[in-house]
Amino acid sequence: MQTYKIRRISGTRKNGVTVPSLCTLDAALKFDSTESPHCVYNEYVAHRLAQTLHAPVAEGVLTTTGDGQAYASLLLHSPGINLPDVLDPQLDRIAQMYPDMAAALVAFDLFIGNGDRARNLKAALVTPHVRLFAAFDHSHALLGVESNPTNSIRKLAEGELIVRRHPFYGRVQAVFLEGWISRIVALSDGYIRECCGMGKPFRAVSEELQQSLADAMIKRKAALPAIVQGYASFIRSRP
């Protein structure tokens, strides 16, 4: 379970049975840019898919800035003091400590075509009472797989591996990975359409593009077992 540190409580409402308080949480604001022209859409859709699947991804919300919508990724490494990003030599230990979460992340990244996982991950390693494993940054997935969204959609739909490198390749246990792949395959088409569709054009992403992405993701979830099977030798843990 991820929790997010309150930066400030700014007041309590006197009315209402639960007497709610107003507070501020820390977040990283992400915008569309030349390098990642569909960043906000990608982050938001990846987050909705992760929520639907219960994949271990940091929470985030849409917000508005002077330039229109932005994505605010809540800082999960913010329990008052920032946590370090994981290091390569720690990956074996993380995969041993969180085998189910590591498999979830591999399956999820394969599904959304996120080839940029790198060290975008926080995990608690030496604190027995703290279970923390959460990934962030999905701007290079979905429509960001290629520089052109049409090519990204084509690659996703055609069942290409896309994720050539991943911190947990060679470290995931088959039993957990298969569980997560099955979960993705079982995802209803309707849920995928809801995750990808905003019901209106969203920044530079037309409704047609949203629809095409949903179609591609529906094809990709069906192709996922074959993708994993085809590359099992380097995705799954080595003896």
Question: Within positions 61 to 80, which residues make up the interface with another protein, using CB under 8 A?
Answer: 78-80
The CA-based angle 16-20-21, given to 5 degrees, is 140
Identity of the amino acid at 113: G
User: Per CB under 8 A, which region of 46-54, 119-127, 135-143, 175-183 contacts another protein?
Assistant: 119-127
- 130 near another protein, rule: CB under 8 A: yes
CB of 82 to another protein, least distance (A): 4
- 85 near another protein, rule: CB under 8 A: yes
**Candidate list 23, 29, 61, 87; residue touching another protein; CB under 8 A:** 87
**Candidate list 126, 233, 238, 239; residue touching another protein; CB under 8 A:** 126
- 25 near another protein, rule: CB under 8 A: no
- 83 near another protein, rule: CB under 8 A: yes
φ, ψ for residue 162, nearest 5 deg: 60, -50
Range list of β-strands (E), 26-123: 27-30, 60-65, 68-74, 121-123
Buried b (16+ CB within 10 A) or exposed e, 103-141: bbbbbbbbbbbbbbbeebbbbbbeeeeeebbbbbbbbbb
CA distance 86 to 171: 15
User: Judged by CB, which is closer to another protein: 86, or 104?
Assistant: 86
Residues at the site binding another protein, with contacts judged by CB under 8 A: 78-85, 87-90, 124-127, 129-130
